[in-house]
Amino acid sequence: MIACTLPALTDSIPERKRGELAGEVTSELQVVGKAASIAIQTWVRNNDKTKARAEEREKNIGWIGRLFTAWRVSHAEREESGRLWGEAGAPGGTVRRAAVRKRGSGSASLR
C-alpha cells in the first residue's frame, strides 16, 4: 500500500540499497528488542525483591504485634496476681522485689 501511495520514493531506491536498509532496520530492531527484554527482566527481578521485602516487613510487624499483645496480657495477669496477693495478706501487704547486687565479673546475684 505504501508503494502505491509513494511510488517515486520506492522506485528511486535501488533494490540492493533497499535490502541493506531492511537488514539494518532488522538489526536495530533486534538490538532494541534485546534491550527491552533485559529491562523487563531487571524490572521483574527488582519488583520480586521489593515484594519479598514488603512481605517480610508485614510478617515482622505481625510478629511484633503478637509479642506486644502477649506481653500486655502477661503484664495484666502479673498486676492482677500482685493485687490479689497483697489483698490476701502477703508480708507487709505488698509484693517485695528481690534486690539485685552486681558482682565484679559482670554477673548478678539475688540477695
Distance from first CA to last CA of the chain, Å, rounded?
Answer: 101
Phi, psi values for residue 108, rounded to 5°: -120, 155
Query: pLDDT (tens digit, 9 = 90+) per residue, 42-96?
Result: 999 999 999 999 999 999 999 999 999 999 999 888 888 877 666 555 554 444 4
Query: pLDDT (tens digit, 9 = 90+) per residue, 11-49?
Result: 677 888 888 888 899 999 999 999 999 999 999 999 999
- Is residue 8 scored above 70 in pLDDT? no
Gyration radius of the chain over CA positions: 39
What pLDDT sits at residue 79?
83
What pLDDT sits at residue 2?
47
What is the value of pTM for the model shown? 0.41
What pLDDT sits at residue 66?
93
DSSP string, 5-45: H-HHHHHHS-HHHHHHHHHHHHHHHHHHHHHHHHHHHHHHH
